[in-house]
Amino acid sequence: MKKVYTLIFLFLFSLGQAFAQDEVIDEVVAVVGSKIILLSDVENQYMQYRLQGSIKGGSSVRCQIFENLLFQKLLLNQAEIDSVEVTPDQVEDEMDNKLRYYFRQFGSTEKVEEFYKKSVEEFKEELREITHSQLMVQMMQYQITKDVKVTPSEVKSFFNSIPSDSLPLINSEFEIAQIVKNPPVSDEEIERIKIKLTDLRNRIIEGESFSAMAILYSEDPGSAKKGGELGSYGRGELYPEFEAVAFRLKDKEVSEIVETEAGYHVLQLIDRKGEYVNVRHILLQPKVSTDDLAKAQKILLRIRTQIESDSISFEKAAKIFSDDPNKNNGGLMINPNTGTTKFEADEIDPSVFFVIDKLEVGDVSEPTAMKTEEGKQAYRLIMLMKRTEPHRADLKEDYDKIQNWALEEKQSKIIKKWINKNASGTYIKINNHYKKCDFQNEWFN
For 284, the enclosing helix (H) or strand (E) is: strand 276-284
Which whole-number Å values give the CA distances from 110 to 107, 270, 273, in the listed order? Answer: 8, 10, 9
Q: Which residues pair with 382 in a beta bridge?
A: 178
Q: Is the dihedral of CA 347, 351, 354, 356 positive or negative?
A: negative
Closest CA to 317 of 369, 382, 387, 386: 382
Q: What is the mean pLDDT of each run of 10 residues along the chain (445 residues)?
A: 39 45 70 92 84 65 91 94 89 82 74 78 82 92 94 95 92 95 92 96 95 95 91 86 94 94 94 86 94 95 96 96 92 91 93 94 96 87 95 91 94 94 92 89 80
Give the contacts of 23 (CB within 8 A, at least 6 positions apart). 40
pLDDT computed for residue 1 by the predictor: 42
Q: What does the pLDDT read at residue 100? A: 75
pLDDT the model gives residue 120? 75
Instruction: Give the Cα separation of 52 and 49 in Å (integer).
Output: 5
In Å, what is the CA distance from 317 to each residue of 207, 293, 309, 328, 381? 53, 19, 13, 10, 11
Burial code (b: 16+ CB inside 10 Å, e: under 16) for 330-350 equals bbbbebeeeeebbbeeeebee
d(C-alpha 173, C-alpha 24), whole Å:
47
pLDDT for position 300: 97
pLDDT value at residue 122: 81
| Residue extents of the structural domains in the chain | 11-152+402-435, 170-184+289-392, 187-284
Give the predicted TM-score (pTM) of the model: 0.68
Q: Does 11-152+402-435 match 170-184+289-392 in CATH topology?
A: no
Instruction: Choose among 83, 97, 106: nearest CA to 127.
Output: 97
- The CATH number of domain 11-152+402-435 is 3.40.50.620: no
* DSSP letter for each residue of 55-91: ---SHHHHHHHHHHHHHHHHHHHHHHHTT----HHHH
187-284 CATH fold: Chitinase A; domain 3 (3.10.50)
Decide which of 3.10.50.40, 1.10.760.10, 3.40.50.2000, 3.20.20.150 is the CATH code for 170-184+289-392.
3.10.50.40
**Are 55 and 45 contacting, i.e. CB atoms less than 8 angstroms apart?**
no
Distance CA 395, CA 158 (A): 10
Per-residue pLDDT at 57: 58
Q: What is the pLDDT of residue 99?
A: 78
- Complete DSSP assignment for 164-203: GGGPPEEPPEEEEEEEEE-PPPPHHHHHHHHHHHHHHHHH
